[in-house]
Amino acid sequence: MESIKYDLAKTPLREVNQFLHSDASVLNGKHIDIQNPNGAHNIAVGLKSEAKVNIHGHAGYYAAGMNQIADVTIEGSVGAGVAENMMSGRVHVKGFASNAAGATAQGGLLVIDGDAGLRCAISLKGADIVVGGSVGSFSAFMAQAGNLVVLGDAGEGLGDSIYEARLFVRGKVKSLGADCEVKTMGPEERKILVDLLSRSGHSDVSPESFTLYGSARTLYHFNVAKSGAY
Amino acid sequence: MADTPNKIPQTEPHQSWTFDKLTNSQIRRAAATGIYDIRGGGAKRKVPHFDDLLFLGASVSRYPLEGYREKCGTDVVLGTRFAKKPIHLKTPVTIAGMSFGALSAPAKEALGRGAGAVGTSTTTGDGGMTPEERGQSKILVYQYLPSRYGMNPDDLRKADAIEVVIGQGAKPGGGGMLLGQKISARVAKMRCLPEGIDQRSSCRHPDWTGPDDLEIKIAEIREITDWEKPIYVKIGATRPYFDVALAVKAGADVVVLDGMQGGTAATQEVFIEHVGIPILAAIRPAVQALQDLGMHRKVQLIVSGGIRNGADVAKAMALGADAVAIGTAALIAMGDNDPALEAEYNKLGTTAGAYDDWHEGRDPAGITTQDPELMKRFDPVKGGQRLANYLTVMTMEAQVIARACGKSHLHNLEPEDLVALTIEASAMAKVPLAGTNWIPGMDKF
C-alpha cells in the first residue's frame, strides 16, 4: 500500500485536511501517516474516501469527526467528540477518549481501547461503539439507534431518555437514567454483540458476561403521570 | 330619597386586569388537563417594537433622493470575514430556519422558490435538508443544530452557508419539540426516530459546551468544508452584548440575532411569553459589541423576530443590522392564517390570525402539517410566487424610506435617522424621544 507522510510540526493542519479531502481516485487505497499531532484539534475531519489514516500521537477535539468510509487510527488518546457524527468507516483510538466520544454518530464503527469520558455515545444515531475500558456518566443520553458496547463499567445516568439504541455493559452500572432499563438479550442482540466484539479485537470476551440495557419506552409520549421523570 | 331596590344603578361588569379573560381561560385549561400549553409562533404579548420608532426623513438639513429614479442599493454580502465563498444577496430580507417536519415538503419548496426568485437565501431547520428544498433554493443556509437530526456532512458540503444554532428568540435555552402527529414515516426516517413518538430536540449541543469549545467546533466545520462557506452563529436575544462578542471571538462570519417575537414550531406558551427579550431591545447591544471589537460590518448581523414590512427592515438596518430574516411573515404571505379559511379555523376552535397549534399538524392551509391530504391544498408554485411578491414589496418599501432619508443604499441608514415614540423604545433603541434630545440612560446623544 502506498504510504504518504505528513508532519504536523511542519505542515499546517488545513493543508493536511485538504489533501485528505481529495477525490477518491487520489486517496482510495492510500495509507497516510500523520506525525506530531501534539493534541491538535480537528485532525482528519470530514474524510470521505477509502484512505487509511494513522495519527501517531495524541489528538485534540473532533478527531476523525464526521468520518465517511475512511479508516482512521489514533495511536494515542483523543479529546472531546472523537468520530462525532461519523456516517461510515472505522475509527480506532488506541488510548483514552474524552467526553462525547461518538456523539450523534450515524454509522460505522468507533473502537476505543481505553476508557471514554462523560456522555459517550450521546444522541447516538445508528453507529456502533465499542469501549474496551469504562464510560463516564450520562453516556448514551438520548441515544436513538445503534449499539454501545462497554467492557468495563458505566457511570451515572446511563441511557437517560434513550430511544432505540442498545447498550451492552459488562461491568457495573452506577445508575440508570430515566426510561432506561435492563433488557433480555435475545439471539438477535447476542449476534450483534458477538460481531462487534469480534470486529473490535475482543473475540475472547464472552458475550454472556454482558447485560443489555434499552428503552422502557415510557417517555415516548408526553404523560402527566411521568412528569417527575423529566 | 333612595331608589327602589329593583332600580339601583348597576356598575358595568368589571373584568379584572390581572385576571383577564385570557388568563382565566389559561387557568381553567391547566386545571382541566394537568399539562402546560404548547403552541407555535412567537411572543404574542405587546412589547416595544419597531412601530415605536419613526424615521425623520430629509428636509432642509438633509437631502433626499428621488423616488424610483435615483439608485438605492439593497444588496448585501454575508460571510466576508473568513469564508472563501461569501454569499451575495440582492435583498437583505432572508428566510429564517424552519424545519421540514414543522413545515410540509411543499411549503419548504415554496420558501426556496420565493427566496430564489428575488435573490435571497432560505434556511433549513431541525431535521435536515430535503432534496426539494435544496433543489428549489438558489442560496441555502444549512442549520447545524443541537439535535443533529438528519445532520449529514454531504449536506454541509452542499450548503451555501452553515448556521450553528445556539438558540432562538421564542425559546432561548430551550430545545425543539415535534409531537407525534407530525412524526410521519419520512420525518422519522430523516431524524432516525421511531414513527409517531413525541420528539424532544436537545437544548445544548452534544459535543461542546461554552465559547472556547464553540471556537473549535466552528474550526471543525470550516476544515470539513475547506473554509469555503460562511459560518453563521444564531442566538436567541437574551444577553446580546456578551453573546455576540463571544460568537465573534469563536470565529463566526455572521451572527443571527432572534428576538422573542420570532416564531417556533412548538414549545410551551410560558417559555415563549416569558423568556428572552424583544428584538428592539437586542439590536443596539449587539451592534455595540461588534463596534467595540472593531467588527461591525466585518462580521455581519442578521436580525429577526417580528419583521413584517419594509419599515421594519429599514429600522433594523438603521440600528446597525446588515440584513433581516423573516419566518412567521413568510408563512402568512404563503397563506397561513388566511381569513378565507375562517370556517376551518373555527372548527379547530380558533380564528384566522390566532391559529398557533402548528404542532398538531392540522393546518387547513397545508403549510405546518405532514398530513398528505392537507399538504395537497398547498401549491408550492403559487405559494412561492406570493412569497416572492411579498419580499419584493418589503424591499421596495425599505428603499422608499432610505431614499426619503437621502440614502443611496439601505446600509447607509443610521440611528440618527430615527426617533422614538415612547420612552421605552427610546431607551432600548438608543434614539431620542421624538421632539426631544433625550435618550433615557444617556447623558447626551
State the Cα–Cα distance between residues B388 and B384, nearest whole angstrom. 6
pLDDT at B185 over 90: no
What is the pairing mode between strands A166-169 and A211-215?
antiparallel
What distances in angstroms separate CA B141 from CA A161, B115, B218, B287, B304, one per listed residue? 30, 12, 15, 23, 15
Q: Which of B207, B224, B228 is the best substitution to test chain A (most A C-beta atoms within 10 A)?
A: B207
Element (H, E) at B344: helix B342-347
The answer for A 46-75 residues in CB contact with B (under 8 A) is 46, 48, 60-62, 65-66, 68
Residue of chain A minimizing CA distance to B219: A42
pLDDT band per the 50, 70, 90 thresholds, residue B1: low
So what's the pLDDT on residue A82?
Answer: 98
Bridge partners of residue B144, in order along the sequence: B164
State the Cα–Cα distance between residues B358 and B368, nearest whole angstrom. 6
Residue with cell 477518491: A24
pLDDT digits (tens, 9 = 90+) for B346-380: 999 999 999 999 988 899 999 999 999 999 999 99
Residue of chain B minimizing CA distance to A230: B200
Contact A176, A193 (CB under 8 A): no
pLDDT band per the 50, 70, 90 thresholds, residue B442: confident
**Amino acid (one-letter) located at B421:** L
Give mean pLDDT, residues B295-303. Answer: 98
pLDDT digits (tens, 9 = 90+) for B57-109: 998 888 899 887 899 999 999 999 999 999 999 999 999 999 988 899 999 99
Give mean pLDDT, residues B393-410. Answer: 97
| Closest to B88 measured CA to CA, from B98, B72, B74 | B74
pLDDT digits (tens, 9 = 90+) for B110-124: 999 999 999 999 999
- Residues in chain A with pLDDT values less than 50: none
Contact A216, A180 (CB under 8 A): yes
Give mean pLDDT, residues B163-174. Answer: 95
What is the pairing mode between strands A90-93 and A109-112?
parallel
What is the pairing mode between strands B300-304 and B254-258?
parallel
| CATH architecture of the domain with range B50-334+379-413 | Alpha-Beta Barrel (3.20)
Chain B residues within an 8 Å CB radius of A85: 148, 151, 153
Q: Is B31 at the interface with chain A, CB within 8 A?
A: no
pLDDT digits (tens, 9 = 90+) for A127-153: 999 999 999 999 999 999 999 999 999
Give mean pLDDT, residues B293-299. Answer: 98
The answer for B 225-244 residues in CB contact with A (under 8 A) is 225-227
pLDDT at B445 over 50: no
pTM above 0.90, yes or no: yes
Percent of chain B whose pLDDT exceeds 90: 83
Q: Which fold has domain A3-219?
A: Pectate Lyase C-like (2.160.20)
pLDDT band per the 50, 70, 90 thresholds, residue B202: confident
Q: Is A230 at the interface with chain B, CB within 8 A?
A: no
Burial class of B394 by CB neighbour count within 10 A (0 to 12, 13 to 18, 19+): buried
Q: Which of B220, B221, B227 is the best substitution to test chain A (most A C-beta atoms within 10 A)?
A: B220
DSSP assignment, residue B75? Answer: -
Domain ranges of chain B: 50-334+379-413
Chain A residues within an 8 Å CB radius of B192: 106, 125-126, 144-145
Interface size A-B, in CB pairs within 8 Å, comes to 99
State the Cα–Cα distance between residues A94 and A72, nearest whole angstrom. 11
What distances in angstroms separate CA B255 from CA B236, B295, B312, B416, one per listed residue? 11, 11, 19, 24
Contact yes or no for A61 and B216 at CB 8 A: yes
